[in-house]
């Protein structure tokens, strides 16, 4: 079970979202305090609260129930935020960001529930070994050479940092067989990975521990393979104490550990007559990146088509700008390059690379060429059913100011954004951009605001009673003033029964395990952002017995 709810990433995200909801509702008018504000805060707080309470349980089934409640509360919060947006208590941009975040929370809750259900079926031989008093205790599989079933037995093994795992305690196995105690067996281990591999003698093979598919090595460490040849085939060969595999006169040893700096690699071999040969080489590992290069300050705005960038660097490095080498590797500690400029923003991402390809962190130089009126790019849909509407677009540099219908737009880099309150029908949008040198451009657009769908009828009704084993139809019927095509989604307790599509109904037969109260949510949407939903709480009961 989960010991600390604060370790859950989904709890951390849900907790942060609850704080954001509380901050958002601080600005709601006082007349909403006891209905919308209170309900929205309770729904948002319910998600992390149920996760925290569920983590205190001792049974997976109970935790899954709390996760289900948290899932349903996230959907309730999302609808209340939509309602707030329609009442113009918050912006469409804020609502859309909350929607993305709560969709992510539900995906994480679904993944958490799946992982908990899967964990109950994990096979015992996949347990990770644990350290105990300097020894490693494993669950291992013995495979006998005489008739003996394959079983799991605990044995005690000693493990070196990067050498061998050796059976050091005699173990009694089924059928009276013994292993160990005068017949120790060893298997190679690999630094940075859990102990893995096999131990073999004449009677048994031990599959030791669990070797993962990959492992992250500590910084400044690498694992390599060493290959070579010998003039005498079939001789055992060790590389830094690791037994190599041989094919004829060729050998290969994998899992040779290198650390930062020079490393000594020693290859030894002994033939059948006892003659021993050894060869030593040095391999250097260099993983340290060079220092970040510097550049002289660049002017904010220029008029020319070229500019000379200058700066400093580490000796023995090259300079790369925007992924292209512009200064070859050399021993200099300064650099200079003339670059071509284009109208608008010119961003230069500068890094240094050393002889083995290590890359420094980047420095960024930016300058703006302003000789022409700004180029405005914005392509809103011809029609939307959302207001306020978040209009987004770009201009060709980050210093240009942008106004939309006379109000300053929010800027980020070359992008701009403005929240527009639309009226039903056709809306004219005028965008004005003024560059640093006072060149001006305008762009005029139109957006039609339509109406959102309305759910005309739904079933079952709120408070309806259903019977176990009896099929019922969950359905909704929606209308749209502009006759926009409508799609439907039907949910039970926050889980999708019928995903978005033209079908407005789905059959559901409650099972014996589903007795109790359930929440049905019926949703409708059009192609222009319009959304409506209706929720009903239903009670599922056992069907009464009819007496003669």
Please give the torsion angle defined by the CA atoms of residues 234, 239, 244 and 248, in that order, rounded to the nearest 10 degrees: -40
Domain boundaries, the chain: 5-119, 128-207, 221-285, 301-366, 383-449, 454-541
pLDDT in tens, 112-153: 887 776 654 433 223 222 221 122 222 222 222 222 222 233
- Which of 2.60.40.10, 1.10.760.10, 3.30.390.10, 2.60.120.10 is the CATH number of 221-285? 2.60.40.10
pLDDT at 203: 40
The verdict on whether omega for the bond into residue 430 sits within 30 degrees of 0, i.e. cis, is no
Q: pLDDT higher for 501 or 153?
A: 501
* Distance in angstroms (rounded) separating the CA atoms of residues 476 and 474: 7
pLDDT at 112: 83
List all residues 6 or more positions away from 412 whose beta carbon is below 8 Å from its beta carbon. Answer: none
Averaged over 311-330, what is the pLDDT? 95
* Structure token digits, residue 124: 């015992």
* Distance in angstroms (rounded) separating the CA atoms of residues 82 and 89: 10
Q: Are 138 and 187 in contact (CB under 8 A)?
A: no
- Tell me the C-alpha to C-alpha distance, in Å, between residue 322 and each of 303, 325, 350, 438, 454: 22, 9, 7, 30, 52
* Distance in angstroms (rounded) separating the CA atoms of residues 402 and 393: 10
Q: Are 529 and 387 in contact (CB under 8 A)?
A: no
Averaged over 370-382, what is the pLDDT? 94
pLDDT at 535: 93
* Distance in angstroms (rounded) separating the CA atoms of residues 417 and 390: 7
Averaged over 462-477, what is the pLDDT? 92
List all residues 6 or more positions away from 63 whose beta carbon is below 8 Å from its beta carbon. Answer: 1, 2, 54, 55, 57, 116
- 307-318 b/e (C-beta count within 10 Å ≥ 16 → b): bebebebbeebb
Reduce the secondary structure of 263-303 to three states and give it as a string: EEEEEEEECCCCCEEEEEEEEEECCCCCCCCCCCCCCCEEC
pLDDT at 492: 92
Q: Are 483 and 416 in contact (CB under 8 A)?
A: no
- Which of 1.20.870.10, 1.10.1060.10, 2.160.10.10, 2.60.40.10 is the CATH number of 454-541? 2.60.40.10
CATH of region 5-119: 1.20.1440.60
Domain formed by 301-366, architecture: Sandwich (2.60)
pLDDT at 144: 22
Topology alike, domains 5-119 and 454-541: no
* Structure token digits, residue 369: 């060429």
Q: Are 531 and 521 in contact (CB under 8 A)?
A: no
Strand order in the sheet with 389-394: 389-394, 415-420, 410-412
pLDDT at 378: 94
Q: pLDDT higher for 131 or 430?
A: 430
Q: Are 10 and 112 in contact (CB under 8 A)?
A: yes
Indicate if the pLDDT at residue 42 is higher than 80: yes
Q: Exposed, middle or buried by CB within 10 Å (0-12, 13-18, 19+), for 216?
A: exposed
The angle formed by the CA atoms of residues 186, 187 and 192, to the nearest 5 degrees, is: 135
Q: Are 480 and 486 in contact (CB under 8 A)?
A: yes
pLDDT at 321: 95
Residue 36, CA atoms < 13 Å, CB-side half-sphere: 21
Q: Are 22 and 37 in contact (CB under 8 A)?
A: no
Q: Are 311 and 296 in contact (CB under 8 A)?
A: yes
DSSP 316-362: TEEEEETTEEEEEEES-SEEEEEEE--SEEEEEEEEEE-TT--BPPP
Domain 383-449 of CATH type 3.40.50.620: no
* Mean pLDDT value across the chain: 80
The CB density around residue 187, as the number of other CB atoms within 10 Å, is 21
pLDDT in tens, 231-265: 888 788 999 888 888 888 888 888 888 888 888 99
Q: Are 415 and 393 in contact (CB under 8 A)?
A: yes
pTM higher than 0.75 for the full model?
no
- Tell me the C-alpha to C-alpha distance, in Å, between residue 359 and each of 317, 333, 350, 352: 9, 16, 10, 6
Averaged over 275-303, what is the pLDDT? 91
pLDDT in tens, 178-213: 444 344 444 333 333 333 444 444 444 443 332 333
pLDDT in tens, 335-353: 999 999 999 999 999 999 9
List all residues 6 or more positions away from 46 whose beta carbon is below 8 Å from its beta carbon. Answer: 69, 70, 73, 76, 77
* Structure token digits, residue 309: 């960038």
pLDDT at 134: 22
* Distance in angstroms (rounded) separating the CA atoms of residues 340 and 349: 14
Name the nearest CA neighbour of 453 among 474, 482, 490.
Answer: 482
Residue 334 pLDDT class (50, 70, 90 cuts): very high
């Amino acid at each position: 079970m989960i010991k600390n709810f604060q370790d859950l990433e989904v709890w951390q995200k849900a907790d942060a979202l609850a704080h954001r909801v509380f901050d958002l509702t601080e600005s709601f008018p006082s007349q909403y305090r006891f209905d919308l504000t209170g309900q929205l805060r309770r729904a948002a707080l319910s998600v992390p609260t149920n996760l925290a309470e569920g983590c205190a349980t001792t049974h997976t089934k109970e935790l899954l129930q709390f996760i289900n409640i948290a899932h349903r509360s996230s959907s309730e919060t999302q609808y209340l935020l939509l309602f707030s947006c329609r009442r113009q208590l918050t912006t469409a941009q804020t609502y859309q960001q909350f929607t993305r975040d709560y969709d992510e929370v539900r995906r994480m809750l679904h993944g958490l529930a799946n992982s908990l259900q899967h964990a109950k079926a994990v096979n015992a031989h996949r347990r990770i070994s644990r350290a105990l008093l300097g020894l490693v205790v494993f669950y291992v599989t013995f495979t006998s050479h005489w008739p003996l079933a394959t079983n799991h037995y605990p044995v005690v093994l000693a493990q070196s940092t990067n050498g061998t795992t050796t059976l050091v305690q005699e173990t009694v196995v089924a059928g009276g067989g013994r292993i160990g105690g005068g017949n120790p067996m060893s298997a190679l281990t690999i630094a940075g990975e859990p102990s893995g591999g096999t131990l073999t003698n004449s009677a048994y093979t031990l599959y030791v521990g669990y070797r993962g598919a990959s492992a992250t090595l500590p910084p400044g460490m690498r694992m390599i393979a060493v290959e070579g040849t010998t003039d005498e085939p079939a001789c055992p060969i060790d590389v830094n104490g690791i037994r190599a595999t041989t094919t004829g006169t060729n050998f290969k040893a994998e899992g040779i550990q290198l650390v930062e700096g020079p490393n000594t690699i020693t290859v030894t071999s002994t033939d059948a007559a006892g003659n021993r040969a050894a060869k030593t080489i040095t391999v250097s590992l260099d993983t340290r990146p060079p220092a970040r290069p510097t550049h002289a300050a660049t002017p904010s705005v220029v008029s020319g088509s070229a500019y000379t960038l200058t700066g400093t660097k580490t000796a023995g490095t090259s300079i790369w700008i925007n992924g292209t080498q512009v200064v070859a590797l050399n021993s200099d500690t300064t650099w200079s390059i003339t670059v071509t400029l284009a109208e608008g923003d010119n961003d230069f991402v500068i890094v240094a690379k050393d002889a083995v390809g290590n890359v420094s962190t980047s420095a960024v130089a930016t300058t703006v060429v302003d000789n022409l009126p700004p180029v405005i790019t914005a392509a809103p849909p011809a029609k939307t059913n959302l207001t306020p509407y978040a209009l987004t677009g770009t201009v060709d540099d980050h210093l240009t100011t942008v106004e939309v219908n006379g109000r300053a737009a929010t800027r980020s880099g070359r992008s701009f954004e403005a929240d527009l309150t639309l009226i039903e029908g056709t809306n004219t949008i005028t965008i004005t951009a003024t560059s640093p040198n006072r060149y001006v451009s305008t762009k005029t657009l139109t957006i039609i605001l339509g109406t959102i769908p309305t759910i005309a009828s739904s079933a079952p009704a709120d408070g309806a009673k259903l019977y176990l084993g009896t099929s019922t139809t969950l359905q909704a019927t929606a209308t749209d003033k502009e006759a926009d095509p409508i799609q439907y989604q039907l949910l039970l307790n926050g889980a999708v029964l019928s995903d978005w599509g033209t079908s407005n109904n789905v059959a559901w037969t409650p099972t014996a395990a589903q007795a109790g109260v359930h929440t049905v949510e019926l949703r409708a949407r059009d192609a222009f952002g319009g959304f409506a939903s209706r929720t009903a709480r239903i009670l599922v009961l056992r069907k009464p017995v009819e007496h003669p």
